[in-house]
Amino acid sequence: MNFEQLLFYFFSTVLVAAAVMVITIRNPVKAALFLVLTFFTAACLWILLEAEFLAIALVLVYVGAVMVLFLFVVMMLDVNLVRLREGFAEYLPIGGIVAVLLVLEMAIILGPQRFGLGNFPEPAGHAADYSNTRELGRVLYTAYVYPFEIAAVILLVAIIAAIALALRRRKDSKYQDPRKQIRVEPAERLRIVKMPTEKRG
């Protein structure tokens, strides 16, 4: 076993163990943290595949941004485990059927006759100065420019839709306008009244 294989097995073990912990651990915050570990080890495996751009993008996007916001939400939730487990027996049959079907489908598609090592030629090795990122950028903006742009537009629509759904303007909310706050003059806030002294009555 060479060093690379040793690394591969190490990362794979951590990945599988962390993924199992995500669904078995009780505390939702810890489950989210194990998901972070899962993503991170997956990125390490991609680095072993010489896909450094995808690996770093995975860490940057999923670990650095998506999971942070996810944790943010999970920490704020008051998860009641007793209530969550209430209808467990009731949903077990249908959930079990779905799970078994999913495993079967994945076994059919990802089985050795389609994804076996024999079906794919060994990828050619690249020199140390080969730029994965440059190559990916070139392909994305030439051969796959339409799918890429369409995906971008769909994401943009999703962002706008999400904001539109969440945006509720309350008429009585005390919204501060920084522009007005900066332009305030002393005369608007303070009124000096001059009056003559009066004799005590």
State the residues that interact with other proteins by CB under 8 A.
3, 29-30, 33, 36, 52-53, 56-57, 59-60, 63-65, 68-69, 71-72, 75-76, 129-133, 176, 178
Q: Is 52 in contact with 75 (CB distance < 8 Å)?
A: no
Q: How far is the CB of 156 from other proteins (least distance, A)?
A: 13
Q: How far is the CB of 63 from other proteins (least distance, A)?
A: 6
Q: How far is the CB of 52 from other proteins (least distance, A)?
A: 5
Q: How far is the CB of 27 from other proteins (least distance, A)?
A: 8
Between the CA of residue 100 and those of 17, 46, 93, 127, what are the distances in Å? 21, 29, 11, 44
Q: Please identify, using beta-carbon distances, which residue of 19 and 57 lies nearer to other proteins.
A: 57
Element spanning 133, H or E: helix 132-141
Q: Please identify, using beta-carbon distances, which residue of 53 and 148 lies nearer to other proteins.
A: 53
Q: Please identify, using beta-carbon distances, which residue of 66 and 157 lies nearer to other proteins.
A: 66
Q: How far is the CB of 97 from other proteins (least distance, A)?
A: 37
Compute the distance between CA of residue 199 and CA of residue 201 in angstroms, rounded to an integer.
Answer: 6
Q: Please identify, using beta-carbon distances, which residue of 137 and 147 lies nearer to other proteins.
A: 137
Residue in the block written with tokens 């008051």: 78
Other Cβ atoms closer than 10 A to 54:
15
Compute the distance between CA of residue 45 and CA of residue 9 in angstroms, rounded to an integer.
Answer: 10
Q: Please identify, using beta-carbon distances, which residue of 29 and 84 lies nearer to other proteins.
A: 29
Q: Is 14 in contact with 37 (CB distance < 8 Å)?
A: yes
Q: Please identify, using beta-carbon distances, which residue of 18 and 36 lies nearer to other proteins.
A: 36
Q: How many CA atoms lie within 13 A of 196 on its CB side?
A: 2
Secondary structure of 87-121 as H, E, C letters: CHHHHHHHHHHHHHHHHHHHHHHHCHHHHCHHHCC
Q: How far is the CB of 62 from other proteins (least distance, A)?
A: 10
